[in-house]
Structure formats: structure tokens, C-alpha cells
Amino acid sequence: MISMRRFILSFSCVFCLTAFAFSQNHNEQQGGEPQGGKPQNGEQHGAVDHQAGHDAGCGPVEEHGFDPGATAFHHVSDQNVYNIGPIQLPLPCFLYAPGEGWKVFSSGNFHADAHGNGQVAIDKYVLVEGLVRRIEDPAFPSGVVEIGHHPYLKKEVQENGKEKEIPYICHSSTLYPTAGRSTADFGMFGGGISSFYDFSMTKNVASMLVVFLFLALVFNGVAKAYAKRDGMAPTGLQGFIEPIFLFIQDEVAKPFIGAKWEKYLPFLMSIFFFILGLNLFGQIPFFGGSNVTGNLAFTGVMAILTFLIVNLSGNKHYWEHVLWMPGVPAPLKVLILTPVEFLGIFIKPFTLMLRLCANITAGHIVITIFISLIFIFGKGAMAPSLGTGVGSTILTMFMMAIELLVAFIQAFVFTLLTASYIGSAVEDGHGHGHEEEGAHH
């Protein structure tokens, strides 16, 4: 059994790196598009379930039918507020705009409604569908400003020729466009560099912190139990954790890595328990609904860590196999094998990133869609019926049971593939010996 202190240190490093990634890129595209109504030009966009209203002469916000797609994407988005059932908990905002400096305050200062739309603007920052945005128009006043209760959506053509719905804020009978936070997606997901940077603690970061502290307490308690009951049979929580440790050690680390398994076991344990804890935490009903492992910022950091460890650990045999495979004709190496093997170095972590993100996000979306069946097939515009309520509940419970299984499977698959990649980088030139080393231990 590995040193518990080494494991806890490795686990802490993984948490810090993933938390930093969320501060850089909240993956705004995943959050879908904010709900809105009817802009001044009369075009209708999106779907809102707000009551019809009128915001200071900017035009009516009309009520539209229920949109399950927008609801599902809103559910899996990373936001600047944290919800526990109907209770909305504010989170600290750390915002930076070039030329204007830092703004630090609580997201509760926006006085957001149940939909996450702020009723006031703070130094040109607003909250739309739980996400901080900024009004860039210099005509908009600074300080704390009362704004229209509902955002308006207008389609605008971007530099790449694509149309994008932009939330507008109403103030003094005028609509002001808002800009989203800067994202490090290089434009691939509709983001890019905007007029401000958001380093706030979001819902996903708060969830990561809760899971990190909980697991740290658990593992610290297990470590103390091992020290106190040295040589004795495990009991309680120690007895629950030890079989999982031994399973990852004996069925993953030793067979796939071989003689050097102990060196990499703290990292494997860290990613397994962190992913598993976040997967399970995200399934707790009415407790934030976080989608951490379904966010590319998180899975990307995990994949980058795997990429660095694998390639920094690669021995001569590994790089020979990648760059110039022995015993193969030179033309075949240059034209086919070497390019394919070199691309494989980057494809492997990329598939790790996408597999975890897609599986977890899909589960969250499907559950939300099943719940939405109550409103889709209910009597009237928003009146749920008994039949759809019962059917939706049964489907949702079934899907949650499947998701519980997926939570364990995806944590195990990510750890297993990571171990196999490390094993291929550190194995000797004979390609054997892993099983023998595993048997000795």
C-alpha cells in the first residue's frame, strides 16, 4: 500500500490545477444561450417562461413555449451562482477589465431572480442566466444601476460570418449589448478574448472545493486509522476504502505499468477518486446540479496532466517506437508509421478529454429532458399532467440509476487508460515483464 501522504499531496495538486483551469475558461458555450424575449426590431428569438412584461420602454418581453433544449444546456452550464433547491447562494466575483482594473464583489449584489438574471448592473457588469457579462457601451453609467428585469436577445453577425444571439440590457428606454467573458477556446466554441476576464469562483469550482475537502477529510481519517491500527484488520471507513485501493493497485497499476507501478500509483488514485467523487456529487438532486466532469476545462486539465506524465516518463524504447520504429523499412516509417505514432501522442489525451466530458454531459442532459417531458406533454402551455409526471419520474429514476453506474465506469476507464499509456512509456524494449512484476507484489 502506498504512502497516504504521497497520495494526499498528489490529490491536492490535481485539484489546484483543475480549479485554475476553471478560472481561465468556464466553457461558456456549454451553458447554451440565455433566455430572452422580443427585441425592438420585432424579431422573436429563444424561448422564455417569464411572465409578459414591459421594461422601461424597451418593448414587451413576451411569453413563449417551454424550450427543453435551452433548459438542458442551462442545467449543465457553469455559472456564477450556486443553487441548492430554490435557495440561490452567491459566489465571489473577481473581474478584470483592461484599463479599468479589478472589481471584487459578491454575485449576490446583482439581486438575481430565480432564472439567474440580475436586476442591477455593477460598474457595467450584469448577470444573465447566471453568467457575468459586461456592457461595453461607454454611454452606460458606472456604479450600481437599476436595469430591466429580463434580457433581450438580438441576432448579430460575427466576424466569422456566423450569427449569434447577443443578450441586451434595458436601461432608460435604451437597449445595451453585453459581452461574455474572455475564454481560452481560440474561437472553437464561439468564445475568444472580450473586454474583460472572469476569475470568479463558479458553481463548478465550488463543487470541486466541496468534493476536495470531503475527500481530504476521508483520506486523512483513513491514514490515521492505518497508523493507529497498524497490522490489524481494517474497520469502518478504512474497510470500505481499502478494497478500492487494492483493486486499482492490483488490477490496474501493476498489470499495466509493471515494475514502476508504485511511482505512479498516487496519481492514478488521485484522478480515480477525484473523478468518481465529482461524478457522484453531480447526481445529488437539488444540490447545485454541478457538471464538473462534463466540462472541457476540467477534462482538458486531466488529459494534459496525463500527457505530461506519459511523455516526460517515456524511455528510449518509447521514443524509438514513436519516432523511428526499428526493423521497419524507412519509406514505410517516414510516410505512414512515424506520422501516425506522433499524432497518437496528442490523440490519446484528446480522446480521454472528450470521452469523459461527453458521457457525463449526455447523462445530465438526458435526465433534464426526461423531467422536461412533464411540461412538453402536459395539458396547456405549462400545466403538468399526472400521466406525464409519473412517466417522467420513472424514466428519470431509471436514467439516474444508469448514471450511477456510469460514474464508476468513467472514473475507472479514465484511470485504466492513463495507466496503459504510462505503461507503454516506461516498459522495457522486450515488451514483457509487467505480469511477472505484478505477481511478485
- The Cα 421–Cα 414 span in angstroms is 11
- The Cα 124–Cα 103 span in angstroms is 11
- Whose cell is 511478485? That residue is 440
Tally of CA atoms within 13 A in the half-sphere of 116 that contains its CB? 25
Residue 13: count of CB within 10 angstroms of its CB: 14
Distances (CA, A) of 116 to 132, 208, 226, 253, 425: 10, 21, 46, 45, 47
- The Cα 323–Cα 299 span in angstroms is 28
pLDDT at 41: 35
- The Cα 162–Cα 62 span in angstroms is 26
Angle in degrees, CA 240, 209, 72, rounded to 5: 95
pLDDT at 208: 93
The dihedral sign for the CA sequence 346, 202, 171, 37: positive
Q: Quick check: 182 and 196 in contact, CB under 8 A? A: yes
pLDDT at 94: 94
pLDDT at 49: 34
Residues near 50 by Cβ (< 8 Å), separated by ≥ 6?
A: 35, 37, 61, 63, 115, 150
Q: What is the pLDDT along the chain (441 residues), one digit of tens a residue?
A: 445 566 656 656 665 556 555 544 544 443 444 333 333 333 333 333 333 334 546 766 655 566 666 667 777 788 888 888 778 888 999 999 998 899 999 999 999 887 788 999 999 999 998 899 999 999 999 999 998 777 887 766 666 567 777 889 888 888 899 988 888 765 555 667 888 999 999 999 999 999 999 999 999 999 888 888 887 888 888 888 999 999 999 999 999 998 899 999 999 999 999 999 999 998 887 777 788 998 888 999 999 999 999 999 988 888 888 887 777 787 877 788 888 889 999 999 999 999 999 988 888 888 887 777 777 776 554 455 666 677 777 887 888 888 889 999 999 999 999 999 999 999 876 554 454 444 444
pLDDT at 309: 94
The letter for the amino acid at 384 is P
The dihedral sign for the CA sequence 299, 304, 310, 313: negative
pLDDT at 160: 59
